[in-house]
Amino acid sequence: MELDEIECVGFILVFNKSYYEESIYKFDELIKLTTKKSLCIVISNNPNLQKPVDFDGAFLSGDNSSYEFSGWQKGLEHFMRRNHSKNVKAYIFANDTFCHHHKYNFVKRKMYADAFKKLIRNHEAPVLAGRITSFGQSFSINDVTLNEWVSTYIFGITQQAMRSIEYNICPRDKELEKYFGTMENEDCFFSDGMNSALKTHLTSWLFGGEGLKPPWYKSEPLNDINRDGFAKKSRSILREKLLTANVCKRGGKIQPITLPIYIRLINRIKFELLKSYSK
C-alpha cells in the first residue's frame, strides 16, 4: 500500500519486555480491523526490546524522556516526514498496557474498532475518542474547565482535531513549569497556579494520605530519591489532561468509548443476580 492511500495510522509505545510483542500484535490487529488502509508504527522506550520477526511495520527507538508522550510524538513526526498526511483521517495511540493492565477481549476489541471507525467517518470534525476518567470534581487547566478527560492508554483523534493542536501531543517541559512549585516538600510540589481541586487530587494520588480516591500503587511520601521521578510522572499526568483540554479549547468534541448497550445490560443483570444470591 502506498503511503498516500493510508487513512488511519496507529502508534503503540512499548516498554515491558514480558508482554510487548503480544501488545504489538493485538494493536496491529485492532488497527487493521478498523480499516484495511492502515499503518502501524511501534516506538520502543526500552533499548533492550527487539522488533518482532513477523511484524512488518516500522520499529522506532524512543528516549523515554516524557514516557509514552515523547515516544508518540517521535512516531508521529517520523510518519509526517514521510507523508504529508493528505488522506489520513484518524490517528490511534496506545501504550503496551492497553491489553494487559486493562481488560481486553473480543468485546473490547470490537468496541474500540467501532469507535475508531466512527472517527474515520467523522474525520472532518475535531474529535478526541477514548475511555473517560474523572476524580469526581471539576477542575481547570489551560483555561479550560473539565469534569472528566480521555485516558491515554488507548485513544483516537481525527485529522481535524490533530490539525487544531498543531500535531503536538507532547507539550514541552517548559510549558508545564507554571504548574510546579519549588518541590521542596509535598505542600509546595505543585504551584499555587495549579487549580486547587487538581492540586489536591494529584498531591494525594502521588504521596498518599487522605484524598479523593485511592492513591497510585507507587505512591509514597516525597523524598530526595523519588522527587525527580514524581516530577516526571506528574508531567505525564498533566499532558494527558492537557490533550483533552487543548482539543476542547479549539472547539473539539469528546467521543466517549463505551461498551455496547446490550453488553452493559447483560453485565447489569449479572450484577443484580449475584447480589440477590449473596443475600
Determine the pLDDT at residue 270.
59
Determine the pLDDT at residue 53.
92
What tens-digit pLDDT sequence spans the chain (279 residues)? 666 789 999 999 999 999 999 999 999 999 999 999 999 999 999 999 999 999 999 999 999 999 999 999 999 999 998 876 678 999 999 999 999 988 899 999 999 999 999 999 999 999 999 999 999 999 999 999 999 999 999 999 999 999 999 999 999 999 999 999 999 999 999 999 999 999 999 999 999 866 555 678 889 999 999 999 999 999 999 999 999 999 999 999 999 998 766 565 665 665 556 656 665
Closest CA to 227 of 255, 189, 195, 258: 189
> Residue 241 carries which side chain, given as an amino acid letter?
K
Determine the pLDDT at residue 271.
56
Q: Whole-angstrom Cα distance, residue 103 to residue 126?
A: 28
User: In the sheet where 127-133 sits, what is the strand order?
Assistant: 58-61, 38-44, 8-14, 90-95, 149-158, 127-133, 253-256
The residue assigned the cell 491489553 is: 99
Which residues, at least 6 apart from 183, have a Cβ–Cβ distance to it below 8 Å?
189, 222, 227, 231
Closest CA to 35 of 157, 118, 117: 117
Determine the pLDDT at residue 86.
74
Indicate the pairing of strand 139-141 with strand 144-146.
antiparallel
Q: How far is CA 187 from CA 152, 197, 233, 239, in A?
A: 28, 14, 17, 22
Reading the block at residue 110, the C-alpha cell is 470490537
Determine the pLDDT at residue 160.
96
Determine the pLDDT at residue 217.
84
Determine the pLDDT at residue 5.
85
| DSSP assignment string, the chain | --GGG--EEEEEEE--TTTHHHHHHHHHHHHHHH-SSEEEEEEES-TT----TT--SEEEE---EEHHHHHHHHHHHHHHHH---SS--EEEEEETTTTTTS--SHHHHHHHHHHHHHHHHTTTS-EEEEEEE--SS-EEETTEEES-EEEEEEEEEEHHHHHHTTT--S--HHHHGGGB---SSGGGSB-TTS-HHHHHHHHHHHH-SS-SSPPPTT-----TTTHHHHHHHHHHHHHHHHHHHHHHHTT-EEEE----HHHHHHHHHHHHHHHHHT-
